[in-house]
Chains A and B, each alone.
Chain A
Amino acid sequence: MAIIGSRRRNGLIAASLVAPFVLTFALVFAYPTLEVIRLSFTDSPLIGDGEWIGLENYRNLLSDRLFYTSVSNNAYFLLLTVVPTTALALGMALLVNSLKGRWQAFVLALFFLPYILPVSVVTQIWIWITDFQFGVVQPVIALFTGEPVSVFRNPFWVMPTIAFVTIWWVNGFNVLLFIAGLRNIPPELYEAAAIDGATKRQRFFKITWPLLWPITVLVLTLQLILQLKIFDQVYLLSQGGPFNTSYVPLLLVYREAFQLNHGGYASAVALVIFVMILVVSVLQFQLLRVVGRR
C-alpha cells in the first residue's frame, strides 16, 4: 500500500513539474499543429468557419503559378546563401583562430555582433546604406554598373542583395560554430604534423578540414533550414517585388491568410512548406553524413 501510495504521490509531483510546459505546449503548439492540418482541407476564411472541401486547396496549389515562382525564388536564395555563408564563416573563423589573446576576442565580437540585432534594425540600416539617392554604397555599386541602382526595386539585384544582407546578419553565428569546432581539434595533431614536415596546406586538408567536417555539416544543415523559411527580411526589404522576383513561399502564406482572408488555402501552403523543410533537412543530413564518411 505504502509503495503504491508513494508511487502515486511521485506521479503527482512529476505531473505538477511538467504541467506548465505541457499545458502551454498543448494549447499553443499541439492544437495549432492539428488545426493547420484540418484547416488545409477547408475553405475557411481567417476569421470564421468554412466548409470541408477535401483536396481542393492542394489541387489549386498545383496550378498556382505564384507558388512555383515563390519556390524557385527560394531555391535561388538557398543557392545564394547556404554555401557562400558557410565558406565565408570558415574563412573568418580560421582568421579569428590565428589571432592571439585579446585581439581574438575583439575581432570575434565584431564579427558576431550583427547576429544579435533584431531583423528590422538590420533591414532599416541596409535600406539607408543602399538608398538610391544618398546611400553610402551607391558609388561602389556604380563602379560595377556605371550608375546607381535601386537594389530592392531591381529584378536582377533584389535577391542577391537580400542574400547579402542575410549573410551579413547571420554569418557571425556560423563563425562561432566553426571556432568551437577548431578549438576541439587537439593541438598535438598539428605538432605531430609539423614534426613530420607537413606544409600549411597539407595541415589544413589532412587535419583541419576532415576534423571540422561534422561542424560543416551542422552549419550547412542549420543554414539550409533557416533559409528555407525566410520571410522577415524579404517582407521588410522588397515585399516580394519587383514583379514577384523576390516572392517566397512564406510571403504567400502571409498574403493569403492575412491580406486575402484565405485561411484554408494559406494553411495548405504552410503545410507544404513544412513538409518540404522536413524532407530537405532529413535528406541533406543523411547525404552529408554519407559523403563525410568517405
Chain B
Amino acid sequence: MTGARRIENLALTTAGVAAAFAWVFPLYWALATSLRSEKRVVGEEAGLFPDEFNLAAYIDALFNTQIARWYFNSIGTSLIITGLVIVSGMMCAYAISQMRFPGRRLLYGIVLASFMIPAQALIVSQFILMNDLGLVNTWAGIILPQLIVPIVIIVYKQFFDAVPLEMREAVVLDGGGEYTLLFRLYLPLNWGITTALAIITFIGAWNSFLWPFLIVTTEDMMTVPVGITQVTDVFGVKYARLMAVALLAAMPVALAYLIFQRRVTEAVMISSGIKG
C-alpha cells in the first residue's frame, strides 16, 4: 500500500468512526442521563462527559413504576407470537412449496397480496372484533392480530423451493410422510434462516406499539413500549428515571441485535428481497 493510500484509509476510518459516534450520541446521552442523580440532570454542572455512576434512577424505575409487570407481558406475548408465527408460517410455506393441492396458487396469491395491506387500516375493525370476543386487555388480544407475518411464509417458501429433490426422495423411500419431511429434513436444513426469522419476528413483536396501545387500557396489561409512555410523576418529569426506563425497554432488542448481529442483518436483507 502506498503512503497516500494509507493516509486516505486512515482519514476515511476516522471520518466513519466519528460519524458513527455522532449518530449514536442520543443513546449515549440517554445512558449518561440515566446514571446521574435527578438533581444533577437538570443542574448547571451536568457536562457532556459522564461524571457520575448513580443507579438511583434504575432503582426508582424498578420499584416505583410497573416496568417489571410490563416486562412480563412483553416477554410473554413476544415469545408466543414468535413461536406461533414461525411454526404456522413454516408449515404453510412447506405445503405451498412441496405439495400439490387445490387452492395452492390462490393461497400464495393471498399471502403476497396481504403483504400490501397496511395493518393500520384495519385497527378499527380488529378492535371491534377483539372486543366482541372479550379479548380487550388480554394477552390473546395483544397476540392475535400480530400473528399475520406474510414475509415469513414468502422467505420460507424460497428456501424450501431450493432444497434438492434427491434429499426429499431419500426420506420418502424410507417411508417418511409430509410431517416427517418437514420436521426431519426441511427444518434442520434451514435452521439458519429459522433463527434469523425468529429473531426479527421477536424484535418486531417486542417493538410493536400501535396495536398493544389500542387493545390495552389498564396499566397492568401494558407491554414495555406502551408502558414507558405512562411513566410520569406528579412533581414533574424525572428525566434520569425516564431515560433509565427507556434504556431498560430497549435492552432486550439491543442485546438481541448485538449478539445476533449477522443473523439480524441477514434476515433484514432477505426479507426485503435483496438476497435469497
Contact = CB atoms under 8 A, between A and B. Distances in A.
A106 B122 CA distance: 39
A120 B16 contact: no
Nearest to B230: A120
Given A98-B12, A111-B23, A180-B274, A229 B101 contact: no
Contact of B239 (A31, A32, A134, A278): A134
A280 B91 CA distance: 34
Interface in B33-65: 33, 41-42, 48
Nearest to B145: A28
B165 interface: no
A207 interface: no
A211 interface: no
B249 interface: yes
Interface string A79-111: 000000000000010011011100101111111
Given A110-B24, A180-B274, A267 B124 contact: yes
A18 B100 CA distance: 12
Nearest to A13: B178
A139 to B, nearest CB: 11
Interface string A37-48: 001000000110
Contacts of B170: none
B13 A99 contact: yes
B150 to A, nearest CB: 9
A120 B147 contact: no
Interface residues of B, number: 92
A152 B200 CA distance: 32
A222 B274 CA distance: 13
Interface string B255-276: 0111001001100110011110
Given A113-B254, A121-B250, A180-B274, A21 B91 contact: yes
B95 A119 contact: no
B190 interface: no
Interface string A216-255: 0010001001000101100010000000000000100110
A234 B100 CA distance: 47
A209 interface: no
B193 to A, nearest CB: 16
A10 B101 contact: yes
Contacts of A4: none
Contacts of A128: 29-30, 33, 239, 242-243
A136 to B, nearest CB: 6
Interface stretch (A65-73, A186-194, A269-277): A269-277
Contacts of A120: 209, 225-226, 228-229, 246, 249
A25 B178 contact: no
A116 interface: yes
A146 interface: no
B99 A39 contact: no
B175 interface: no
A95 B8 CA distance: 12
A117 B207 contact: yes
A112 interface: yes
Nearest to B149: A21
Contacts of B41: 134
10 contacts: A17-B182, A20-B84, A29-B117, A95-B15, A100-B13, A116-B203, A118-B253, A126-B26, A176-B268, A177-B272
A-B pairs, 5 with minimum CB distance: A32-B125, A110-B20, A35-B125, A118-B225, A20-B88
Given A111-B20, A118-B209, A120-B229, 11 more contacts: A14-B99, A17-B92, A32-B129, A46-B127, A95-B12, A99-B16, A110-B20, A116-B257, A117-B250, A168-B23, A257-B123
Interface of B: 9, 12-13, 15-17, 19-21, 23-24, 26-27, 29-30, 33, 41-42, 48, 84, 87-89, 91-92, 94-96, 99-102, 104, 107, 110, 114, 116-118, 120-129, 131, 144-145, 147-148, 153, 177-179, 182, 203, 206-207, 209-210, 214, 224-226, 228-229, 239, 242-243, 245-247, 249-250, 253-254, 256-258, 261, 264-265, 268-269, 272-275
